[in-house]
Amino acid sequence: MRYLTNLWDALDFGSLESILLRVAAVFLCLTIHETCHGLAAYALGDPTAKRAHRLSLNPLRHIDWLGLIMMVAAGFGWAKPVPVNPNYFKKPKQGMALTALAGPASNFLLAFLLLLAARLTAEHAVAAGALNETWFMFLLNTASLSVGLGLFNLVPIPPLDGSK
């Protein structure tokens, strides 16, 4: 048992609380990102994601476990890609582009909402005289992760969204 404790300290993952908060942030950002890909494709006429039960906000439908571990431990990871069939789109190239853009756009919108929540949290906390620093930092860090995920996915290299 002592060996595991020393190993944990050597890996410098931080506290269990910080790991759980990182996992929650990754779940939130990746789930919103992938669900929005599926919703965009569905809105444009492609039922593939719906048939695969990927229009869900259940993170377990979208998370690739190795990708999650890598994201939390190394800051780089991935989710299961949402299946899309461009043959269902009236204009396949435009449909794929809009579907691909939906993921990063959702990350930017999520970041905006998280920053708005952080500002409201700070304003009300100052008025009440008590700021929940953990919650505030979770909002800021998740917003940062969401922006980073959105920007990274715009890079025009396959299999990223920017290449579609």
Q: Which residues are catalytic?
A: 34
Give the type of residue at 9: D
Please state, in angstroms and rounded to a whole number, the distance separating the CA atoms of residues 155 and 158: 9
CB atoms within 10 A of CB 87: 10
Distances (CA, A) of 85 to 67, 77, 109, 161: 24, 24, 25, 15
Instruction: Tell me what percent of the chain is helix, strand and coil, each rounded to the nearest 5.
Output: 75, 0, 25
**Residue 111 near residue 150 (C-beta atoms within 8 A):** yes
